[in-house]
Amino acid sequence: MSDIKRVGVLGSGLMGSGIAQVAATAGYDTLVRDVSQQIWDKARGGIEKSLAKFVEKGKLPAADRDAGLKRLRFTTTTADLKGCDIVLEAVTEDLELKNALWKELDGLCPPATIFASNTSSLTIAAMAAATRRADRFVGLHFFNPVPLMPLVEVVRTVTTSADTFQRAFAFAKSLGKEPVAAKDNSGFIVNLLLVPYLLDAIRAVERGVGSVPDIDKAMQLGCGYPMGPLTLLDFVGLDTTYKIAEIMFTEYREQRYAPPPLLKRMVLAGMNGRKTGKGFYDYAVDPPRVVDLGL
Ligand code: 3HC
């Protein structure tokens, strides 16, 4: 275990709840902050389900699950995170929102506390600069589903100290993850390569190159990917992908990051994928059925 003992997590959506789950089961006292008890109840339900799967498969002793759940607490008050040794932020990809939280905590946390953002595409430097601890600010980018995906990108921006980077790297390892070092470039390593691929899959649908299930099947069986790109989009969330694409397009001004019109329309219609029950597939039925997009 690293020198970190108490972990704070901002946000309990897909990513935040996954991060909280792995931190608590790795032995850290973990305090999650979100805006309502109702959101947390849903997140905690998801964590319990995930842990139950690990126990069922013999991958986690039931006693470790129980101990992990005991280490997991919740608050709606951001200031309660003031005693944490590291704060991981996983709220919506909105710089203003993130920086408001960072500014509040910057005045409350001790100097040694590390601030780490799970942003997928925003610049770490833009958050670090909003605090008086730009040297203790780092990116820790996890992958969905967090309890299963081994990778964490540890992002060192221009102001991050070598000590902070090493502590964050060791912390990621202590969670049982495989960290890689990445530069503070929008999208880091994975999204720099993954996002154009996902957007191209939507462009392939727009052009009628193949049907939604055939595009998925082609990439699954032709390349050995665990999920086809449109299933993966539903899994990651179309709204999340749209936001990431907009941020990356603004950063690079390259066509390959431009969100395709179909993605925008689906997000406008609330078809955000699994989280809203419908995206390229309809999840109200089992197995999920392809949605008629009128193309
Ligand atoms: N917790 C615990 N166990 C889980 C779980 C969870 N949340 N979700 C699934 N599992 C278990 C299942 O029970 C199953 O166990 P078994 O093999 O022992 O029966 C196993 O994991 C596999 O699950 P499934 O059979 O349901 O489905 P798959 O074989 O397709 O595996 C997957 C699921 C691991 C999600 C796999 O499909 C996969 O790797 N997909 C790609 C995911 C990916 O690319 N993620 C990155 C997205 S990009 C991102 O996150 C970055 C962001 O910035 C956008």
Residue 52 Cα, ligand 1 centroid: separation in angstroms? 15
pLDDT digits (tens, 9 = 90+) for 62-72: 999 999 999 99
The reply to whether ligand 1 has any atom less than 6 angstroms from the CB of 143 is yes
Any idea where the domains of the chain sit in the sequence? 6-183, 190-281
Question: Which stretches does DSSP call E strand in the chain?
Answer: 6-10, 29-33, 72-75, 86-89, 114-117, 137-141, 151-156, 178-183, 281-282, 289-290
One of 2.70.98.60, 1.10.1040.10, 3.40.50.1000, 1.10.287.1080 is the CATH number of 190-281, namely 1.10.1040.10
At 38 the pLDDT is 97
Residue 229 Cα, ligand 1 centroid: separation in angstroms? 14
CATH topology of domain 6-183: Rossmann fold (3.40.50)
Atom 44, ligand 1: residue with shortest CA distance = 232
Pairing mode of beta strands 137-141, 151-156: antiparallel
The reply to whether ligand 1 has any atom less than 6 angstroms from the CB of 30 is no
Residue 228 Cα, ligand 1 centroid: separation in angstroms? 13
The reply to whether ligand 1 has any atom less than 6 angstroms from the CB of 145 is yes
The reply to whether ligand 1 has any atom less than 6 angstroms from the CB of 191 is yes
At 2 the pLDDT is 64
At 295 the pLDDT is 87
Mean pLDDT, the chain, integer: 97
Sign of CA dihedral 174, 179, 181, 187: negative
- Compute mean pLDDT per 10 residues along the chain, 295 residues long, and list them: 88 96 98 97 98 98 98 98 98 95 97 97 96 98 98 98 98 98 97 98 98 98 98 97 96 97 98 97 97 94
